[in-house]
Amino acid sequence: MQPLTQTRKVPHLFTVAEYLTLDITDRTELLGGVIYEVSPRNEPHRHAVRRLTRALARGLDPRYIAQIQDAVAVPGWAGKDAPEVDVAIIEDRFYDPCPTACDAIAFVEVSDTTYADDRNMKIPLYVSASVAAWIVNIPLRQVEFYGSANELVLPHGHVFTCEQTVEIAGVAVPVAELFEVSP
């Protein structure tokens, strides 16, 4: 009897261009060529994104705009990564189909239930693309900075507490303003 030969199935890794042509009705994002479902947003997450957007609108250089919860191709257009960035500071211009990391100066993830995925999957993508990378850590009520082309603070990041102010894309943002007020 001849032994059976086994073939290993290899998953298809999508490019950004392929991903953007798919007709997917669920909320998803592409990371490392793999399509992942996006967790539903809860009110602490929405609140922090609104507050951060308002703070950035007060002082952002007019050459840039805050893009909220939309795809940015990382690294570069030819790559396999188009994460949905909670707040991306990008050049204020028309994009077809979406901006790339080259168009961005800062990425901020707002993490409530997704901290481990944001920290371990998204932040390394952003830093490797030379974009300043931040996490608003809702459970710990802090903001973490992980690096940029000029300043690399991986793997542990620099932590800012509610008593401090962070500077994101040249805008001073009091950390405490990003979190809900306790009753």
Secondary structure in 3-state letters for 147-158: ECCCCECCCCCE
The yes/no answer on whether domain 16-178 falls in CATH 3.90.1570.10 is: yes
CA distance 72 to 133: 13
pLDDT at 38: 80
Give pLDDT < 70 ranges for the chain.
1-6, 76-79, 149-155, 182-183
Which helix or strand (DSSP H or E) is residue 2 part of? none
pLDDT at 176: 96
7-56 residue pLDDT tens: 777 788 888 888 888 888 888 888 888 888 887 778 999 999 999 999 99
pLDDT at 168: 95
CA distance 142 to 165: 10
